[in-house]
Amino acid sequence: MSSNYVNDAIFWIEIEKVAPNPYQPRREFDQDALKSLSESIRMYGVLQPLVVTRKEVFHDGGGMTVEYELVSGERRLRASKLAGLAQVPALIRSGEDDSQLKLEMAIIENLQREDLNPVDRARSFERLAKEFGLKQAQIAEKVGKSREYVSNSMRILALPDDMITALEEGKISEGHTRPLLMLTDRPEEQIVLFKEIMSKKLTVREAESLSRRVATERIRNKGKYLDPAMIEMEKNFTESLGTRVRIEKTKEGGTVTIDFFSPDDLRTLLEKLNAQRSAATASPASSSEVSAQETPSTDTAPIDDRAPADTAKEENEEIYSLKNFSL
């Protein structure tokens, strides 16, 4: 045991005198898990002592009181209060009231228990960097992780607020942030990808594939492979079919690639194409009216009539494309 602790001894401290760690990185605590821990504490007591700092406060009128501030053991403190304990066992860290230490120990404790969500973890690393001037390599050494782990965690905070909130709430996974971050310099495409991840329940692999295709399209457009008329036609295809469509020119003609994410998506696309062909055959003279009806109105929100993807099944499927497909 470190000599930084008073007499290397465990002290029993009144629970009401222990203030929470102001540098606690966790913002949410699972209430069911806390109740379960409180039941265990009620039966067996607090098996692992808290770590606190001690401060003597002298009053103007005379007298002195002792205050304690938590360094690590937030869950045990909360659960002990739920269990109705009057005192808790604690190690008193002596000779310092180090804000950086409190943050470091709270982060390390949560990382060891895997209690931090990706956003809280990223914000914790950011605080170590901004408030205490630590380099990413120094943070990595202190928390026992690689520099790349720290760097990738902190990059999450570059996402827009709504995407960060979705990650905090578990609506998207940390893996989904990688393809979203690939589109940081293309915010419109980033928003589109985020909405597709949310609405279509895209797997991480599917989202990464779409993100790479956007990068490919960026290179293609810079190379001016498509003239403005082709780009406009590509946009119309995308709006009409409700999914991403790309046109690739070759020396002799070209290809049209239509994205889909499940057999249901493919069937829906085929039904739309058949409906358009039937309408055109039944009333060729009014094709302009048919086109106007089929193009989604900008005044109303588009309706996604495709079935949600089966994410568990899709993890083992490839993303298909229809190539050499003429309309």
50 vs 89: CA distance, rounded Å: 6
Average pLDDT rounded to a whole number, residues 67-89: 89
Q: State yes or no: pLDDT of 129 exceeds 70.
A: yes
pLDDT at 61: 77
Average pLDDT rounded to a whole number, residues 113-135: 84
Burial of 187-223, coded b for 16+ CB within 10 Å and e otherwise, reads: eebbeebbebbeebbbbbbbbbbbbebbeebeeeeee
Q: Write out the two tokens for 79.
A: 């659960």
Q: Which of 56, 67, 69, 74 is catalytic?
A: 74
- In the chain, domain spans: 5-97, 162-223, 225-327
Q: State yes or no: pLDDT of 130 exceeds 50.
A: yes
Listed in order, strand segments (DSSP E) in the chain are 5-14, 18-19, 50-58, 64-72, 87-93, 245-249, 254-259, 321-322
74 a catalytic residue: yes
The H-or-E segment that residue 139 falls in is helix 136-143
pLDDT at 280: 73
pLDDT band at residue 318 under the 50/70/90 scheme = very low
Neighbour tally for 82: CB within 10 Å: 16
CATH 3.40.47.10 for domain 5-97: no
For 197, phi then psi, to 5°, come to: -60, -45
pLDDT at 151: 93
Average pLDDT rounded to a whole number, residues 154-158: 94
Q: State yes or no: pLDDT of 104 exceeds 70.
A: yes
Average pLDDT score over the chain: 75
Q: State yes or no: pLDDT of 172 exceeds 90.
A: yes
pLDDT at 97: 56
pLDDT at 327: 37
Say which amino acid occupies 230: M
Neighbour tally for 86: CB within 10 Å: 9
Q: State yes or no: pLDDT of 171 exceeds 90.
A: yes
Neighbour tally for 259: CB within 10 Å: 21
Most confident range (mean pLDDT) of 169-173, 252-256, 287-291, 300-304 is 169-173
Average pLDDT rounded to a whole number, residues 203-217: 81
**Of 320 and 19, the one with more pLDDT:** 19
pLDDT band at residue 309 under the 50/70/90 scheme = very low
> What's the whole-model pTM score?
0.52
pLDDT at 160: 95
Q: State yes or no: pLDDT of 1 exceeds 80.
A: no
